[in-house]
């Protein structure tokens, strides 16, 4: 993660879209740079310890995504998989297929591990209500799953909570609603540095014995 005393318009245009940078204490962002940083979804962390926040913010410019479901979410999974591929994303479908019952914790854990190991940028997991998959995914260190039933929750789960796994309930939402939720979730980057600082506390909870 790059660190700056001052961020100019030129700096802002050379930074990777969706990345994070640190601004040293007393540092400054020029007005033109601020607009460019916002447009390029670049998060500026102001006056905080760089090492303590490394890797916490979810990938902002999502290009690869894993998707999985239990037997109750197969149809919705297929629709979302095709929708995401049409948008140009690389989609890894981890199953299941067909109507034979499978246990949602197995699928949720598989999907969450892919994100935690940074093999994909983000993930979606689906079961009947989405709640069980969210609970299971959150047991994986490094995964932050949120069950969302509308676009507002999708936006908040990313912007404020840094979710990298989206859980959906196939019995609770329509296909069109699911697509809208997914599109909002993918398009929303992590917000201000104060939100990212709170993720450090979540990580500390994960590592408590």
CB atoms within 10 A of CB 66: 23
- What percentage of the chain has pLDDT greater than the value 90? 69
Cβ atoms of residues 24 and 5 within 8 Å = yes
**Over the Cα atoms of the chain, what is R_g?**
18
- Please state, in angstroms and rounded to a whole number, the distance separating the CA atoms of residues 46 and 27: 8
- Please state, in angstroms and rounded to a whole number, the distance separating the CA atoms of residues 92 and 110: 12
Q: What is the pLDDT of residues 18-60, one digit of tens each?
A: 877 878 777 889 999 999 998 988 878 765 554 455 678 899 8
160 is catalytic: yes
Domains of the chain as residue ranges with CATH: 3-57 (no CATH), 64-187 (3.40.1400.10)
CB atoms within 10 A of CB 171: 11
Distances (CA, A) of 110 to 68, 114, 143, 182: 8, 7, 11, 20
Q: What is the pLDDT of residues 163-185, one digit of tens each?
A: 999 999 999 999 999 999 999 99
- pTM of the full structure: 0.75
Cβ atoms of residues 125 and 110 within 8 Å = no
**What pLDDT does residue 23 have?**
82
Residue 87 pLDDT class (50, 70, 90 cuts): very high
Tell me which DSSP letter residue 67 carries. Answer: E
H-assigned helices in the chain:
9-14, 31-39, 50-53, 74-86, 104-116, 131-137, 151-159, 175-187, 193-206
Strand order in the sheet with 3-7: 3-7, 20-29, 43-46
Helices 175-187 and 74-86: crossing angle, nearest 10°?
50
């Amino acid at each position: 993660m790059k660190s700056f005393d001052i961020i100019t318009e030129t700096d802002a245009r050379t930074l990777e879209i969706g990345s994070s940078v640190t601004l040293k204490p007393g540092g400054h962002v020029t007005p033109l740079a601020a607009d460019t940083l916002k447009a390029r979804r670049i998060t500026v962390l102001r006056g905080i310890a760089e090492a303590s926040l490394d890797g916490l913010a979810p990938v902002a410019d999502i290009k690869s995504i894993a998707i999985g479901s239990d037997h109750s979410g197969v149809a919705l999974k297929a629709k979302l998989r095709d929708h995401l591929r049409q948008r140009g994303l690389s989609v890894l479908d981890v199953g299941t297929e067909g109507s034979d019952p499978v246990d949602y914790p197995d699928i949720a854990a598989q999907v969450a591990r892919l994100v935690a190991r940074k093999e994909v940028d983000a993930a979606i997991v689906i079961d009947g209500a989405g709640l069980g998959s969210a609970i299971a995914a959150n047991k994986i260190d490094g995964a932050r799953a949120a069950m969302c039933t509308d676009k507002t929750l999708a936006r908040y789960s990313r912007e404020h909570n840094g979710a990298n796994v989206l859980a959906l309930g196939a019995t609770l939402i329509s296909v069109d609603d699911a697509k809208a939720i997914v599109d909002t979730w993918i398009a929303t980057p992590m917000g201000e540095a104060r939100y990212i600082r709170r993720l450090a506390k979540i990580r500390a909870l994960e590592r408590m014995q």
